[in-house]
Chain A
């Protein structure tokens, strides 16, 4: 593992980057510039959504998820796969088969996150029961949405439900239980999430609501897919695994948008997915237009986690697979509600600390200077062509004007104002 914890879930490989503008254009928070024909990431602006990763055709955006070889540093290895994994391997493979395959490829113990998803649903209801205002309460599941709110909608941090996402709760509990049951020291246990997106690695490396994440890493579905596939073929079917009887479709449905609010008794809840739709709805929340909504589930990937950038299966097929599993496992809760409520009272699900606002850096720290730069920016915009071509290295003319006002680049980089002379001939 690297000595310095990287601030983000991706890095740009300068050897592969050819300096095109795709990632810069795709970035919803304008966190990328192209300088000297290489993409550069502005750390304070990146929210780890992975849009750059989706669009780069040159393998220059590298996800920083845990490598399967890192598993060797732990004596006892536990996998907590996202329920998304159940949607990735065709419609005839059951969750129990996938879980037992994980045991073939290096894990000593496998835990079904769907179970804790179902529990967390009950906990969300409890929280909404106890806290009648403010509204809407926003889901904490997607780490990118949490970061987006901290950065772009700092005032809404107080609306995020102070309940850990299922992956953390599961890991928290497992570490204690496994250590006790198998007499292994807690430090020797490595708990690995199997993830459809790179953002989880940031919430593990730099948790916002915990002093230390209960997870030790996150391996991408993309990276583990082949070895699961190969071992599934070897598996003698059908496999019966104890856990199969415990889970319901409610927990599995968390893999896709709408899963969290499925079965919630607060029917006036809303599910939103995709980065632009999420920003749009959060703007409405900020403007105070959605106070009659009880619970708001926002997931940054299109259609939710099944649309994650590190998945393998086409997300529409994945959705169909999840819907099939919901039909098989049923739409009724199976976990013991009283037991879950007791654990909630014992704070098993709670944040250790609240989410602090982390607004984007302003034009300048001094307000007078910031106003000065804002005026300069408006003046510069008027000179620019407004074609948003990106050749200057900024994603659009407005951002270019902002960069000039902050002294980071110069007007001469605009090809419309300073046409490049034709020099090369074919």
Chain B
């Protein structure tokens, strides 16, 4: 399908700040994203994929970075999520992408996090997934999920 011309009024954008180490408010950004998508009338399956991807990305910032900004953009065809964090960065991205690999502390695991499924889960639920990282500076994620033309029909 050829990309159709969309005006600025059909693009919704919002930014969320995520604090590293803030487990109390962890998950709020992805919860807000979920509610926005419900209001727009996005298909439940797409919402679920966006919610999982954004939640895992948010948790990565909470667990491993000092702070991060999550950008959220929705157009009639696509949903874009970007994460740009300041933190330790990832040394070996290939290794980090492997299911089960995690550098989470025992305390985090005790809380039920750090199963090593974060990045693989994001990739699984995204149509496009890009990651880049600089050790000691931070990590950037880009997630795109396509709508497949599913309109509200209830």
Contacts and interface: CB of A to CB of B under 8 A. Distances in A.
Contacts of A283: 31
A287 B44 contact: no
B39 interface: yes
Contacts of A92: none
Contacts of B152: 359, 361-362, 365, 367, 370
Contact of B39 (A154, A288, A370): A370
B80 to A, nearest CB: 13
B124 interface: no
Interface string A287-308: 1100000000000000000000
B39 A374 contact: yes
A364 interface: yes
B27 interface: yes
A362 B47 contact: no
B72 interface: no
A159 to B, nearest CB: 13
Interface in A211-241: none
Interface in B33-54: 34, 36, 38-42, 44, 47-48, 51-52
B147 to A, nearest CB: 7
Contact of B44 (A154, A360, A365, A374): A154
A245 interface: no
Interface stretch (B7-15, B63-71, B90-98): B7-15
B151 interface: yes
Given A283-B31, A287-B27, A359-B154, A368 B76 contact: yes
Interface residues of A, number: 23
Interface centre among B27, B40, B52, B55 (most CB of A within 10 A): B40
Contact of B47 (A155, A365, A368): A155
A270 to B, nearest CB: 17
A149 to B, nearest CB: 12
B108 to A, nearest CB: 15
Contacts of A359: 38, 41, 44, 152, 154
Nearest to B31: A287
B74 interface: yes
A365 B40 CA distance: 8
Contacts of A366: 76, 151
A363 B36 CA distance: 10
A355 to B, nearest CB: 13
Contacts of B40: 362-363, 367, 370-371, 374
B1 interface: no
Given A362-B39, A371-B76, 10 more contacts: A154-B44, A155-B47, A286-B34, A287-B51, A362-B40, A362-B152, A364-B41, A365-B41, A371-B10, A372-B10
Contact of A363 (B11, B34, B41): B41
A357 interface: yes
B24 interface: no
B44 A155 contact: yes
Interface in B107-154: 147, 151-154
A287 B32 CA distance: 11
A391 B76 CA distance: 35
B154 A358 contact: yes
A155 B48 contact: yes
Contacts of A176: none
A375 interface: yes
B102 interface: no
A364 B40 CA distance: 7
A371 B74 contact: yes
Interface centre among A357, A359, A361, A366 (most CB of B within 10 A): A359
A348 B34 CA distance: 38
Interface string B2-28: 000010011110000000000000010
A347 B146 CA distance: 41
Contacts of A367: 40-42, 76, 147, 151-152
B57 to A, nearest CB: 14
Given A359-B44, A365-B151, A365-B152, A374 B38 contact: no
A334 to B, nearest CB: 40
A357 B44 contact: yes
Contacts of B47: 155
A362 B42 CA distance: 8
B36 to A, nearest CB: 7
Contacts of B52: 288
A214 to B, nearest CB: 27
B151 to A, nearest CB: 6
A390 to B, nearest CB: 21
B15 to A, nearest CB: 13
